Structure 1
Amino acid sequence: MDLIYKGKTKDIYSLENGNILMKFKDDVTGKDGVFDPGENQVGLSIDGAGKAGLELTEFFFEKLNKENIPTHYVRSNLDENTMEVKKAKVFGKGLEFICRYKAVGSFYKRYGKYIENGEDLDAFFEITIKDDEAGDPTINKDALEILGIMTPAQYDELKNLTREICGIIKEILKEKDLDLYDIKLEFGLDENNNILLIDEISGGNMRVYKGKEYIEPLKLNKLVLNK
């Protein structure tokens, strides 16, 4: 097992069988000691956050696999905070695919002159470039094609797939009386250039509320999994 990448919230290893091993850490993104899934830096460490993230990721990936959604998930080991996944190539140097149901976070910061905070959005879809120095800027369909990052057909497929996946997650949370405000996903391509959902699906990737109460990642884990 060889370390190939040290990330903000996960370390990535290559396995002898050709798959990848992701080890979840207790570090979460945020600023000034406050958790924020929209931030591009580690803001704090929360004891148990790694395992909580893996538990939710395992839960959601297994739900999605039953719905025949293409994912990289193979298996997980909760005792070691690790998840084995299929190898996948990211688009460009890494993108995030965001689905927004409420005008909050960076969306509201950008468009606050045109919309009220918390106003409903109809599964608004956007893509951002994973680039800390540039502040993870958004990128549109035309620019993605011009830069050779993806084709228009891939963009359309990813848009539909993001909305389908997020709709499934939103309904699961709704069953727990929880409201999904926004969520970010990642996708990659397998060796046959098929699109796969990759990375994780946890409290660190989404904003979830119960009524007007924001649900922190560790609490979300307990509410969803009835712990």
Structure 2
Amino acid sequence: MGQNTLMDTDFHFPSQKSVYKGKVREVYTLGNDILVMVATDRLSAFDVVMPKGIPYKGQILNQIATQMMQATEDIVPNWLMATPDPNVAIGKACDPFKVEMVIRGYLSGHAAREYKAGKRMLCGEPMPEGMQENDKFPEPIITPATKAEKGDHDEDISKEDILKRGIVSQADYEVLEKYTKALFQRGTEIAAKRGLILVDTKYEFGKTKDGEIVLIDEIHTPDSSRYFYADGYEERQAKGEAQKQLSKEFVRQWLISNGFQGLEGQTVPKMGDDYIESVSERYIELYESITGEDFIKADVSNIHERIGINVSNYLNSLP
């Protein structure tokens, strides 16, 4: 089964200058300020990459992100030029901002864990007293995180600290804030049409060579966002039950129940083929729920070769 997953790549595209390998994506920088971003099937949780890949995961993330970029390009400019292969996005090279813009509409995940620990401020944003896990905030809150260097955990940071430390200028940060709110509003509307609630998500931005701030990386995917099913949300909250959700939180919960939270000295539990198959099926369910379309599996008999041909054909077609 493992042979049909894309765990890493080793391409040599024309005019290639450098390669950056993230937890899940591999980014090739070419001359003329073009980036080729390959979404692998690697699975990362608690900032640790799991030993085995998840079939079709890269395709799923790439195709959701592409659709969502296209569905928001009227309100926020983005880096994307083309998606010549199910696992590949090609776009404009940008200088990324060193913060992730996390926005939360509900008290879930990391925010809920902090709240349970007694905190009522997150990244300088107040969280009202008397909330229970998965309750809706009166207004969405922006809780940025500094982007970790390889291997480190992302860290919460307040707007005040971002400006004080000069990580982002005041003028640029105001644009990031405005774009984050607009994207979350649109994402919420798209989700509602599919019977989903967009709970929280993160956006990443960069600046093009012309100084334009654009949306980069993935958007509204189950790796960067948390969704609940709208149907039954109120009843589950009233009974204090866990929400039925669409995100990779189910992987985190499985890891926690098997004694792993990415802490020092902990070992990643073994994922059997059946479990990996079930994760792949959950990702396909996520895709179909989020996009409202059937998932069409790409040919994975030789993913590496397929990507190489598709990307080369696209690059050759450029003026």
TM range (shorter): 0.7 to 0.9
Q: How many Å separate the matches in 1 of 2:224 and 2:148?
A: 17
- Structure 1 residue 103: Cα displacement: 0.4
State percent identity of aligned pairs: 22
Question: Does 2:202 correspond to 1:184?
Answer: yes
Change (3 A) 1:153 1:54: same
Out of 195, 198, 203, the position equivalent to 2:216 is: 198
Contact 1:10 1:24 in 2 (8 A): yes
Q: CA deviation at 1:153?
A: 2.2
The alpha-carbon deviation at position 70 of structure 1 amounts to: 1.1
Question: Is the 1:203–1:218 contact (alpha carbons within 8 Å) kept by the matching residues of 2?
Answer: no
Aligned to 2:181: 163
Check whether the contact 1:141–1:152 (CA below 8 A) recurs between aligned residues. Answer: no
Conserved? CA contact 1:98–1:127, under 8 Å = yes
Residue 42 (structure 2) pairs with residue 27 (structure 1): yes
Which residue does 1:36 correspond to in 2? Answer: none
The match for 1:213 is: 244
Matched, 1:6 2:6: no
TM-fit CA distance, 1:134: 5.4
Query: What whole-Å deviation, never above 9, does each CA across 1:56-102 have from its counterpart, x for those lacking one?
Result: 0111111112x2411101110234x11001111012xx321111111
Secondary structure of 1:166's partner? helix
The 8 Å contact of residues 75 and 182 in structure 2, kept in 1 or not, is answered as no
Structure 1 distance, partners of 2:195, 2:104, is 18
Q: Secondary structure at the match of 1:27?
A: coil
Q: Secondary structure at the match of 1:173?
A: helix
Specify the alignment match of 2:288 in structure 1.
222
- Unaligned 5+ segments in structure 1 are 31-38
Deviation at 1:146, TM superposition (A): 2.4
Which of 75, 81, 88 in structure 1 is aligned with 2:82? Answer: 75
Alpha-carbon deviation of 1:19? Answer: 0.6
Letter paired with 2:44: T
Aligned residues of 2:47 and 2:152 also touching (Cα < 8 A): no
> How many residues were matched structurally?
215
- Structure 1 CA distance, aligned partners of 2:214 and 2:292? 25
Distance in 2 (CA, whole Å) between partners of 1:134 and 1:49 is: 23
Instruction: Answer 1 or 2: which has greater strand percent.
Output: 1
Q: 1:160 to 1:68 in 2, by over 3 A?
A: closer
Range 50-59 or range 151-160, more displaced: 151-160
- d(CA) in 1 for partners of 2:199 and 2:159? 24
Please state how far the C-alpha of 1:218 moved relative to its aligned partner: 2.9
CA distance in 2, matches of 1:192, 1:87: 11
Which residue of 89, 95, 102 corresponds with 1:98?
102
Partner SS, residue 192 of structure 1: coil
Q: 1:62 aligns to what SS in structure 2?
A: helix
Structure 1 length-normalised TM:
0.87
> Secondary structure in 1 aligned to 2:36?
strand
How far off its partner does 1:17 sit?
A: 3.6
Residues 123-147 of structure 1: per-residue CA shift (max 9 Å, x gap): 1111101226653111122221222
Please give the secondary structure, in 2, of the residue aligned with 1:135.
coil
**How far is 1:172 from its partner?**
0.5
Does the CA contact (< 8 Å) of 1:183 and 1:207 recur in 2? yes
- 1:34 is matched with none
Query: Is residue 108–residue 117 contact of structure 1 (8 Å, CA) maintained in 2?
Result: yes
Mapped contact 2:191–2:197 kept (Cα < 8 A): yes
SS across alignment from 2:144:
strand
Deviates more, 1:42-51 or 1:100-109: 42-51
Q: What SS class does the counterpart of residue 161 from structure 1 fall into?
A: helix
Output the CA distance in 2 between the equivalents of 1:186 and 1:205: 10
Pair member with larger Rg: 2
Give distance in 1, aligned partners of 2:148 and 2:287: 28
Say which structure is richer in helix: 2
Query: CA separation in 2, counterparts of 1:26 and 1:209?
Result: 24
Secondary structure class of the residue paired with 1:204: coil
Do 1:100 and 1:182's aligned partners in 2 also have CA atoms closer than 8 Å?
yes
Partner of residue 123 from structure 1, selected from 131, 134, 140: 140
